[in-house]
Amino acid sequence: MAALLLFCLGSLFYQLNGGPPHFLLDLRHYLGNSTYLDDHGPPPQKVLPFPSQVVYNRVGKCGSRTVVLLLRILSEKHGFNLVTSDIHNKTRLTKNEQMELIKNISTAEQPYLFTRHVHFLNFSRFGGDQPVYINIIRDPVNRFLSNYFFRRFGDWRGEQNHMIRTPSMRQEERYLDINVCILENYPECSNPRLFYIIPYFCGQHPRCREPGEWALERAKLNVNENFLLVGILEELEDVLLLLERFLPHYFKDVLSIYKNPEHRKLGNLTVTVKKTVPSPEAIQILYQRMRYEYEFYYYVKEQFHLLKRKFGLKSHIRKPRPRPEFFIPSPLETEEPIDDEEEDDEKWLEDIYKSGGKEILLSAFHTLGMDTSSG
């Protein structure tokens, strides 16, 4: 009760110190107060305001490789400033690091879209204009399993990819059975390592890394107050549709690019290999250890489905299950390593080019009628 009281006071303090970005307030006015029961189609055609500051603080192993590649194509097509970071392995920042990063982002040429694996940053706390946030999450156990096997065995970009990524990993660790890791409570398969998604939305406060109600509720508040859209990877095409509707200056034509066969060839290079299914007992233990992650995941999923209905997109909502349905096939599996070993996106694109992806990417540009003469 005391924690919830402190959380509510913190929420009030936040609102008195700037609150959500004006664009999100305009969007809520645009959408109105319709619900599942009284919303039966797309809203009337209106022109949404154009946000010129967007942050995609991408969650690892939740489709961000796909989205980053799309953003590189879209930035060339639409002329916005895609800003990345030279730091790829730090999601938790000191106060001085937060101030420095916020300063660097805020001084970027607008319109910009900044992307990095980093926990939520409160720009208004340091006197900056709060940008619009977007993100994508996925089923927590699926995300964990993709990370577990990717760190050990890499993806289809090359048989030795994993050896380059984790050269110091001992052989007994690399071939550690996933069931042993879970059932014998190895650190990699236990908290706080399993408490991964929520901190991206909770923020930089030390308590955001502690599994519990405080971090969960703060993450929900930030989703409501600062995120234009938090999508579900299992419904990626609908995520892209909504991004195109909300942010057309950034995402116009994104779905046609995503569905382009040439683009799919690039995405297929990053599918994790050698994934195996844990035993039902091990999965149940994971579910128990990740109960806060699942409460957050289902909260976001419900909000996402509500948003889809407001725009006339149908959701296939099933009755609640006693435990989550694991191993839902996603439209395009894309993989990122754990947060202390995030991959440099520029390096990843270089690897794609070396493996013959440059011709594929250029073909995708030409198919979409884009000029590639500049290099």
| Predicted local distance difference test score (pLDDT) of residue 171 | 84
Q: Which of 91, 283, 113 is nearest to 182 (CA)?
A: 283
pLDDT at residue number 313: 84
Question: Apex CA 336: angle with CA 368 and CA 24, to 5°?
Answer: 65
Q: Are 205 and 212 in contact (CB under 8 A)?
A: no
Q: Show me where the domains of the chain are located.
A: 53-312
Q: What is the distance between the alpha carbons of residues 257 and 73, in angstroms, rounded to a whole number?
A: 8
Question: How far is residue 213's CA from residue 221's CA, in Å, rounded to a whole number?
Answer: 12
Q: Which pLDDT belongs to residue 152? A: 84
Using CA atoms, how far apart are residues 270 and 347, in angstroms rounded to an integer?
13
pLDDT of res. 173: 85
Catalytically active residues are 117
Q: What 3-state DSSP class applies to 112?
A: strand
Question: Which pLDDT belongs to residue 268?
Answer: 53
The pLDDT value recorded for residue 5 is 53
Pick from 48, 18, 51, 52: nearest CA to 31: 48
Q: What is the pLDDT of residue 37?
A: 38
The yes or no reply on domain 53-312 and CATH 3.30.2010.30 is no
CB neighbour class for 303 (10 Å; exposed up to 12, middle 13-18, buried from 19): middle
pLDDT in tens, the chain (375 residues): 555 455 454 544 444 455 667 667 666 666 655 443 344 445 444 545 689 999 999 999 999 889 999 999 999 999 999 999 888 779 999 999 999 999 999 999 999 999 999 999 999 999 999 999 999 999 999 999 988 988 887 654 444 454 555 677 788 888 899 999 999 999 999 999 999 999 999 999 999 999 999 999 999 999 999 999 999 999 999 999 999 999 999 999 999 999 998 877 665 545 554 568 899 999 999 999 999 999 999 999 999 999 999 988 876 545 444 445 444 333 333 333 333 344 444 454 545 544 544 455 555 555 555 554 444
Angle CA 343–301–9, to nearest 5: 90
For position 333, what pLDDT does the model report? 36
